[in-house]
Structure 1
């Protein structure tokens, strides 16, 4: 176990990363860079597009508004019951459905850009209109598919994991991507409400303990989502395609910590992934019941010695496990952000890996992990370094 001091230091570093909300371009633009970025944004209107999924299935997407009446919202108790917005991306019948599902609303994009100081250099409608590949209202493909629940980084909306969700759905997974109320720069809820990051101010006030509470609260959220997708009276009308015995959880940043927190509390979850997230809520000393877990992070921050919570979390993991780092990656390399920033002409000198490579690596290793541990398909990609992925290091502390 890490000491209280080391845990506090690690979580303070996480707060610096997370509360800076670098959620649009993964870089701070200098005045010198602002004009080229503005020009790129103005000339690329309607051209932003998520990378095309590579799996054999067409994909569909539905949006759910879920309310957990058993809990009050932890950040705004006077708001009443805990609310979640969930995008469910799933294998669909080819050639069906309506238009491509929307990426985000213009107001969500505006708030996201404003949080990073990019509202004057990147066009919010351009970001909102990013082309996705899942079709709205498409009938589900025949069969039953494993369920993967995704949780985004703190202050970052669920939309930034859309590309990963579409990729997994195209490979035969039902993917539920969750927005946790009052924990993002802005999330649209029914009734014209856009809820902003009240939790950000609370976490600044409470320090490391606040981030631990975020992860624990998200674990309750994710278990509730699993309830609503696998229970006797599910909230999703296509829930019959979900294989209730094959459930995984993954997340980025604090969402990755929440994956472990969910596994610690919910035995239904068979496998989990933490993408570059500090374990503010530590991995239990008793482990995760022998279930598999993947730690996938940036080399700069999550090599041994870079994050004490990974150093102490690793020996506590008591099942199949891998610790992988990606050379040249940054904190947001495991999201949609690098691919969209590349199209906007925005570069981060501190993150030399391209959006194309970071997308391909994230997709391949996340899918390989769930294929092996939810579907029983051996994936040699997870056995050790490969010539085709020289950026990926297998860590052996």
Structure 2
């Protein structure tokens, strides 16, 4: 089995992104220390017609202990919501806390980069902006990041979907990212990282735990007493999910266990928990990086699950991409900025087709606009 680990690609991406290496300059891989001036970056602007708002939620599931720290009798989660907002001014949201940025840099073993260069990444969503829309009309998309990565790593995708009229819930799976800031000045480090040192030992545990996390978040957003004041805008019958790396692997399993999730996207994640032999009938898209994710490539889990997907499905790969290409950290070069553009276009087209019933020719085959995307059967 081919096991995908986020660290290498993201390390390289963060370094080049944050150290502003001139075009054509030679770099080493992985380069651990920054040697050029560091500047913050701006995420690509959303292309949809709606302004974007965002809020952060602290959710506590008192029905189960934390899977990584059993002495913590309740499972805590941090969730960011992005959504269409009413027009008006306001302060754009911080990308992450400075403490989270420090943990990310330390976890990736990057030195010489000030944490403010990461936490200062400029976003486009306005903190606490008033939600806009009619009751029960906005589809909901849940995003689950890669292992060790915070929910902020998928901010550019989240802002894009929100600008197109979606409510987006990005989940920080506490103790599975390098660090998560919690209310009251508390900070949760990556306990799961220690368990996985030396190679993957419990990928199935991560996947199953994330399914429980997602289902709990849906309970709190879609239940009779939702935790967010804008929840009344959500159409409970139109819920999708997309994830990167093990977040993508968790998407198919979440759909198996939770019928509320109608459509899903796996962005370059090895499938640790197989789709059951009885199959998955709801729409699914595999979106992979390069040759390893092609049929017959190193990751046999995709072919196994593909054969068990009996509904609408697509298997596409992005030529020249790497594992980090589907995250914000892909902004390390002009080419990789292009890869993030492709990711946003195809994930949005998938959700438009399956949560809104819109005709999306982009999903029907090769495109002149995105010739680097290959379709497989």
Give the deviation of 1:32 after TM superposition: 10
1:255 maps onto 2:258 in alignment: no
Task: Point out 4+ residue stretches in structure 1 off by more than 4 angstroms.
Answer: 26-29, 31-35
CA distance in 2, matches of 1:32, 1:265: 39
TM-score (norm 1): 0.88
Where does residue 229 of structure 1 map in the other structure?
Answer: 221
CA distance in 1, matches of 2:215, 2:29: 44
SS in 2 for 1:72: coil
Between the aligned partners of 1:240 and 1:217, the Cα distance in structure 2 is 27
Pair 1:195–1:302, CA change in 2 (3 A): same
The DSSP-based 3-state class of the residue aligned with 2:237 is strand
Give the gaps of 5 or more residues in structure 1: 1-8, 343-352
Residue pair 2:9, 2:323 contacting (<8 A) in 1 also: no
8 Å Cα contact 1:21-1:156 kept in structure 2: no
1:326-345 map, 5 Å: 326-339=318-331, 341-342=332-333
> Residues 131 and 297 of structure 1: is their aligned pair in 2 closer, same or farther, counting only changes over 3 Å?
same
Which residue of structure 2 aligns with residue 5 of structure 1?
Answer: none
Q: 1:233 to 1:21 in 2, by over 3 A?
A: farther
- TM-score by length of structure 2 reads 0.92
Higher helix share: 1
Q: 2:342 aligns with which of 343, 353, 361?
A: 361
Map 1:299-378; keep pairs closer than 5 Å: 299-306=290-297, 307-339=299-331, 341-342=332-333, 354-378=335-359
1:1-397 equivalences in 2 (<5 Å): 9-10=1-2, 13-14=3-4, 17-18=5-6, 22=10, 25=13, 30=28, 37-41=34-38, 44=39, 47-96=40-89, 98-120=90-112, 122-143=113-134, 144-204=137-197, 208=200, 210-288=202-280, 290-306=281-297, 307-339=299-331, 341-342=332-333, 354-396=335-377
CA root-mean-square deviation: 1.9
Matches of 2:240 and 2:152, distance apart in 1: 19
1:35-82 CA deviation, whole Å, 9 max, x = no partner? Answer: 7x43241xx2xx411100000000000000001111100100112201
